[in-house]
Chain A
Amino acid sequence: MGVSPPPQPFSRQLFYSFFKSLVGKDVVVELKNDLSICGTLHSVDQYLNIKLTDISVTDPEKYPHIGRLSVKNCFIRGSVVRYVQLPADEVDTQLLQDAARKEALQQKQ
């Protein structure tokens, strides 16, 4: 029999769970190369890879080759993301705090 892959560590699951709740919302993803992409969050996986639809480059369009095409979708690898800007009213900060506390508790155990 083969070996099954180990489950995801807790530290990853909090953000995964969080981003799942944001699927369908508009976000701005800032990458480590300073590129900012605005789009609708289409999906996310446990590595926090992000797929956006309807993307546009925010602010100065230094990257016209993206800007010229009409509708775009993109896939962003999780490790290159620096920030994700979210709509504030889509986030339940208290719940997020609770989730973080629970996770901290679990990690201690």
Chain B
Amino acid sequence: MFRYQSLEDCPLDEDEDAFQTLGEEDEDIDQFNDDTFGAGAIDDDWQEAHERLAELEDKPATARELEDGAVSDEMELLGHHEENLAERLSKLVIENELEDPAIMQAVQTQPPMQQPGGLNSSIWDGSAVLRRFRGPLLTQEMPSVSVLEYAMPQRPPQSQEDDRDLSERALPRRSSSPIIGSPPVRAVPIGTPPKQATVPNFNQQILCPKPVHIRAPMQQRYPSPYGERMSPNQLCNVPAGRMSPSQFARVSGLVCSPLTSMNPKLLQGRVGQMMPPASRFRAFFGAPPPPAPPPSQQQHPLCPGSHLQNLRPHPQVFRPDTTHLHPQHRRLLHQRQQQNRTQHRSLNGSAGDRAGHRSSHHEQLRKDPYANLMLQREKDWVSKIQMMQLQSTDPYLDDFYYQNYFQKLEKVSAAEEMHGDGPKKERTKLITPQVAKLEHAYKPVQFEGSLGKLTVSSVNNPRKMIDAVVTSRSEDDETKEKQVRDKRRQTLVTIEKTYSLLLDVEDYERRYLLSLEGERPALMEERKQKICDMYDNLRGKTPGQERPSDDHFVQIMCIRKGKRMVARILPFLSTEQAADILMATARNLPFLIKKDAQDEVLLCLLRPFSLVLYHLPSGTVTSLLQQLANLPQSATVPAPANLHLAAVLQNKFGLSLLYLVLSRGEELQNSSAAVELMQDNQWTELMSMATRELLRIPEAALAKPVSTPSNLLSLFSRYVDQQKLNVLETKLQLVQGIR
């Protein structure tokens, strides 16, 4: 186009020619201009469109009343379009998981029970339902416009301008886009609110979206079960009984969506459909319907202020959400809701001033520009995708915390009730549907014709990012600290391994119940083996017969989670093994006490210890006491002060343990095996030692035990005279009355 290389080349005397050629070019340019900007342009100026929208804002909402005849035409055409749409969208079908109640709860449209085709239904089958139900709902509903619907058939009363509006507003079909994969060309930019006002079948007016902060977080449309097809009048009139008034006082545009769920007339139309709203939000406050809504229920128009006064307590606040709630959880929530409701009810006096806000509020409701951007089925489709991801092959594992937490709660509450009148509530179980595991062989994306594979890394296909090489430290470099640290680390690793075993063992009961008869012996064997492994881990595996050192065990006991783990393991161990543990603990008690000063978690061991003690024979009990007092097997001259015992006495755990041992001894004495114990010199010696120490220790230094067994008094009475007995009594508060 440029004939001249540079400006210098342009000869001045050729100006005329140049201008002429330029003139020719100008003509071309003009034509181009026209095509781009002028009359030839097909594209609409979005700014212009926007201004038109602004004008529409002021037009009154004349489109309230439905014209049934026109609407039904409309509906049929809509249905026609929906069918085409459905065909197209069926290509996007997701494997239908209709059997899963969790998923189906998330969607509003329920596919009909009988499939015409008889094949697996697609998730888009909801449309058939929609169409079918349109009949009875016609009198109440207005169709909403979906951005996917285009080239809406024009209704006769519409003006020419509206025709143009609609065509501009519509989107071209996805699949008809000439370039496959390119985004659909939009005449109107995405996000422009639909223009509606003059068309009666659009039930909402456009309001230029207000820059209200509160709107921003609430752009998410909570899908209502009936697709916002109610007229705004109806929306406002639906009783708001289930909502706490203060909670939805200012929620713009969304107050009435929850209310739609309670419209009983709509419920009638949905035969056999007990579909709670997908949105938990609305569900929480909108509490969907009982399965058979009484047809006689009339919606009575409420004045705005009466929103607050008309709080109907609902007997069953069904909380339908996308997950199953454990019955216990549901009960707790229900209680909580009721509490809130009573609170709010008492605040009704202050509700009067809110009435004024309500009218403007309703205005906003009608003019929500972002309503109905998606069809209900589209929302359902998205919900289904999300819900399908949550299908689990093993709900026990996947949802471990939740299920176990509420099981525990129930046990606790059941236990409490047992003490009272007896179990009032049934023990309800949470049953989560389980899905067979599908093998998802992840294949990384490949393009045809490309050389090699793309390096795409994702959650399912992680790539190695760093080449980390493990270097082992040489022995020479180790300092004492490092050794200590390593030892501690090793202990930690041992604890974790043992914990895994423990969790497995705890799980066996459940597995046992689930397994077949033939598998059970094998399971038992496994369990036993694991218990042995655990014990070995605890005590440190020594090939020799003796267990020379408690070192390993003590190391474990120095760590807080180690102690807790031992407490949990003890019930699974055999009596000898448990006694062994007990001995080791008693032997090293002062050391452990010192180490436990920070954690104070030794007390968790008391309960399992006491359980073990219950099973111990007298000989063991004696040796246990010996350990506590730190006396070697052979009798020695007792030292003036037994430091070991003293330390034990000064610690809560130690003292409690001592009491338990003594109490057990006393029990044994009273039982048939008492004769042995009485004759046991060791026992007598130990007892005198113990009493001596107890007497010696100042009361202030004595720890407070967890509980003082009642038979101690009779125990001491055997070994000390009356005077000392009295001293002991007061010191240890052995008699109930003293406290």
Contacts and interface: CB of A to CB of B under 8 A. Distances in A.
B95 A7 contact: no
A21 B329 contact: yes
Given A71-B246, A73-B251, A92-B405, A10 B398 contact: yes
Contact of A13 (B280, B325, B398): B398
B281 A95 contact: no
> Helix, strand, loop or mixed for chain A's interface?
mixed
Q: Could you say which interface size class chain A belongs to?
A: 35 or more
B438 A95 contact: no
Interface stretch (B3-11, B212-220, B267-275): B212-220
A9 B217 CA distance: 28
Interface in B80-115: 92-95, 97
Interface string B240-278: 000010111111000000000000000000000000000
B333 A24 contact: yes
B401 A43 contact: no
A72 B390 CA distance: 29
A92 B459 CA distance: 29
Contacts of A103: 400
A45 interface: yes
B220 A65 contact: no
A2 B90 CA distance: 9
Contacts of B284: 42-43, 53
Nearest to B254: A73
Contacts of A8: 389-390, 398
B438 A4 contact: yes
B87 to A, nearest CB: 14
B214 A95 contact: no
Interface string B416-447: 00000000000000000000001010100000
B389 A46 contact: yes
A8 B395 CA distance: 12
B397 A106 contact: yes
Contacts of A86: none
Contacts of B322: 45
A33 to B, nearest CB: 13
A66 B440 CA distance: 45
Contacts of B405: 21, 92, 95
A55 to B, nearest CB: 10
Contacts of B403: 17
A9 B392 CA distance: 10
A18 B402 contact: yes
Given A4-B438, A17-B399, A106-B397, A101 B214 contact: no
A83 interface: no
Given A14-B401, A102-B397, A7 B392 contact: yes
A103 B399 CA distance: 11
Given A9-B459, A42-B280, A74 B217 contact: yes
A24 B95 contact: no
A5 B94 CA distance: 8
B460 interface: yes
B399 A13 contact: yes
Contacts of B388: 4-5
A75 B218 CA distance: 7
Interface in B298-332: 321-323, 325, 329, 332
Interface in A60-88: 65-66, 69-76
A27 interface: no
A20 B402 contact: yes
Contacts of A97: 561
Most buried by B among A1, A4, A13, A94: A4
Nearest to A4: B95
Contacts of B385: 5
Nearest to B392: A7
Nearest to A90: B405
Contacts, number: 135
B739 interface: no
B404 interface: yes
A6 B499 contact: no
B92 A21 contact: no
Given A13-B398, A18-B402, A51-B280, A7 B391 contact: yes
A57 interface: no
Contact of A1 (B93, B392, B406): B93
Contact of A42 (B281, B386, B459): B281
A9 B398 CA distance: 9
A53 B105 CA distance: 22
Contact of B95 (A2, A72, A96): A2
A70 B246 contact: yes
Most buried by A among B247, B389, B404, B460: B389
A92 B408 CA distance: 10
Contact of B440 (A6, A13, A21): A6
B670 interface: no
B500 interface: yes
A39 to B, nearest CB: 11
B675 interface: no
Interface in B167-220: 213-214, 217-218, 220
Nearest to A92: B405
B277 to A, nearest CB: 12
Contacts of A94: 564
B329 A23 contact: yes
A72 B215 CA distance: 11
Contacts of B442: 6
A54 interface: yes
A56 to B, nearest CB: 12
B482 interface: no
A63 to B, nearest CB: 9
Given A43-B280, A45-B322, A101-B500, A95 B408 contact: yes
B400 A75 contact: no
Contact of A7 (B94, B250, B393): B393
Contacts of B408: 92, 95
Contacts of B415: none
Most buried by A among B247, B249, B332, B393: B247
B386 A46 contact: yes
Contacts of A17: 398-403
26 contacts: A1-B93, A2-B92, A2-B95, A2-B122, A4-B388, A5-B94, A7-B393, A8-B398, A9-B459, A13-B392, A13-B399, A17-B400, A20-B323, A21-B406, A24-B329, A46-B389, A46-B390, A69-B214, A69-B250, A70-B249, A71-B248, A73-B251, A97-B561, A98-B404, A102-B400, A105-B503
Which 5 residue pairs of A and B lie closest in terms of their CB atoms, listed nearest first? A43-B280, A2-B93, A17-B401, A17-B402, A99-B401
Interface of B: 92-95, 97, 120, 122, 213-214, 217-218, 220, 244, 246-251, 280-281, 284, 321-323, 325, 329, 332-333, 336, 385-386, 388-393, 397-406, 408, 438, 440, 442, 459-460, 496, 499-500, 503, 561, 564
Given A4-B95, A72-B250, 4 more contacts: A13-B398, A42-B280, A45-B322, A46-B390
